[in-house]
Amino acid sequence: MRNSARKQLHNRSIQSRLRKLEKVSRQAAADGKKADGATALKAALSALDKAVKSGVLHRATANRKKSRLTLALNRVK
């Protein structure tokens, strides 16, 4: 029980960080800030890959999120 509680806390902190990074990236794309969006996207993609590596997210979920974030940034002129 202690192990699962510790792992749940760790996973929750990673998921929270992912949501924040995704939100920053989407907000930069919505505001039309391509340079800020590119740096935010890079951080988000790296965090998503690390979450897959540690088993917090499924690979397909991370790939879907990475694809949608990239498309959102590419729509910015």
Task: Centre a 10 Å sphere on the Cβ of residue 41 and count the other Cβ atoms it contains.
Answer: 24
Range of the domain at 69: 2-74
Q: Which residue has the tokens 């749940």?
A: 8
Q: Which residue has the tokens 């879907």?
A: 64
Residue-wise pLDDT for 17-74, tens only, equals 999 999 999 999 999 999 999 999 999 999 999 999 999 999 999 999 999 999 999 9
Number of domains in the chain: 1
CATH code (residue 47)? 1.20.58.110
Evaluate whether 44 touches 69 at the Cβ level (below 8 Å): yes
* pTM exceeding 0.85: yes
Residue-wise pLDDT for 41-54, tens only, equals 999 999 999 999 99
- If you ran DSSP here, which 8-state letter would residue 18 be given? H
